[in-house]
Structure 1
Amino acid sequence: MTTTTNHDGADFTTGEGLRALLNRLHEAGEGAWASDPAARELMAYAAEKYTPLARKHGLDPWEAATAAFDAMQYASTRRADDPWAMVTHGVRITCIFEERAQGLLCSVHQARRPHVSAFHDPERFSDRENPLTDYHPAFHMTDPHDDADAEMDATGSGSDGGRGSDRACMSAGSAAEDVIALFTLLGWDPATARAGVEHVCGALTKTGTRQAAYEALRRDKHARALLDIPRSSWTALLRALLGNPHPAYSATTAGRGVLLRLLIGETLPVLLRDDDLILTISLAAPGHHDHPGGDRS
């Protein structure tokens, strides 16, 4: 059991006892900390005292004891009204920046600087459910010909004037109905399919781009709760309607999504011949894999 009194009989667990011991060690010189039995007992006590604080920040108890040792060297600690309060404050601050330094992969000295600690911890691409490459503009690469084709379809290729845009508006109005029919044919409840498709179309109208709509809707827990469908079904619905957001799929049928494919001229029979699309939609139908403990989070 650790003794908590020094050779003068003062209990260093109290503020005055600690002050007396620190003053004696200071007056004895640098070698006192290495040779004085009371100093060793004090550090063992500090390691035990600050173990919970160290573990809270993912550190070894002796790292907290080292921070306590550093705090005990200051004259301000010896002169403080409560020396232990000064030591505890110093240990807490050091533990915070030790943890911050480990997260930032830098030294504690750098982590104490505001312009460094303002950064977030490094993240691996695999740390998130949706990888950074799916939504960060720095990783996006689009096919310029794809945009040109879409613009040409919307304007009617210039050969029929305004009639092309009229057809585009008409096709946009009927595309949603075709998608609802597609999902219903593949096992989705008609009411659920209609509510889901109309919600996605509404969000697409507000955001203006499929990428922005996808990023907004994938985090829309309120809509998923109202529709009462599992997360896996919601994700499959978004990818089927808006396309896979990964840049590698931007010029493919998987990247375009069902809505755009219908608008650029594909028909429902053509979509029904897409085996990957059919399999994805049918397997994601709510209730297809319902079982106790299923994912509805």
Structure 2
Amino acid sequence: MTRTLIAAASPEDHEFETPEGLRALLIRLQEAGPGAWRHDTEAHELAKFTAGKYARLARKYGLDRWEAVTAAFEAMRKPGTARADNPWAVVTEAVRLTCIYEQRGQGLLCSVDKARKSEVSANHDAERFADRDQALLEWNPAFQVGEPRIEDAGEEEPSPEVTMIEQAVFLFSRLCWPESTARNVIWYIYEGLERLGSRTSAFDVLRRDRLALALLDVKKDAWNTVVAVLLGTQNPAYAATNAGRGLFMRIVIGESFPELLSDEHLVRQIVESAPKPGGA
């Protein structure tokens, strides 16, 4: 009798353990509308299963397992997750990235959103005065006596890459894109370009990046348009045109905001690819 009950309660009996089973559950919960996650019995079982599934990953980064569950829950609620080839792969990647940036945020004493930015995550973890045996005056260069240096009194200027990205975000946000969505999408494409090393490689790889569609909750047609807008159309016949240069390069070579807005084709592409209609 006991063995029968244990077997019946085994997580292996849940269909949502498989990619297709999870897809079916997510679609059903989305169609059920508000409150479905709170009152659905199978959704509760999914939460328990997810807590066990990602407990080890959470411990690896020094986090509570329910932080991993929260990240998984947020990924599952995005419509793009159910459309992915493997919903579990999307959820796992979302949890892994959240754990990484949560750990970085704790070390840098900043929010997770800020830790996701490459110019912030590149910094070292914050140090307390008591973390070192030496006195602060002995190891911190700011307190060393030497030749006087003339330094700019103003704040440190952002890097050219950050300036380029923020200008692109500003343009997108003025053309129907929510600013936070635009920033996530543009940073993702820039980091892909930085990782792959060339516009041609980044263009080919990013257009096939289905994980991005789920993580960023962007439709495929809109995603392909934005990749082409930022990196340029990689057809040699268009290399010397604005369409071939791409928005990143056009900003770098010094095109102004009014000049970009005067490009009707560019404006139309950005507006029509925006997640929310209206405002054109």
> What TM-score range do you get, normalising by the shorter chain?
0.3 to 0.5
Work out which structure has the larger RCO, using CA pairs closer than 8 Å and 6 or more positions apart in sequence.
Answer: 2
* Bigger Rg, which one: 1
Q: Normalised by the size of structure 2, how large is the TM-score?
A: 0.46
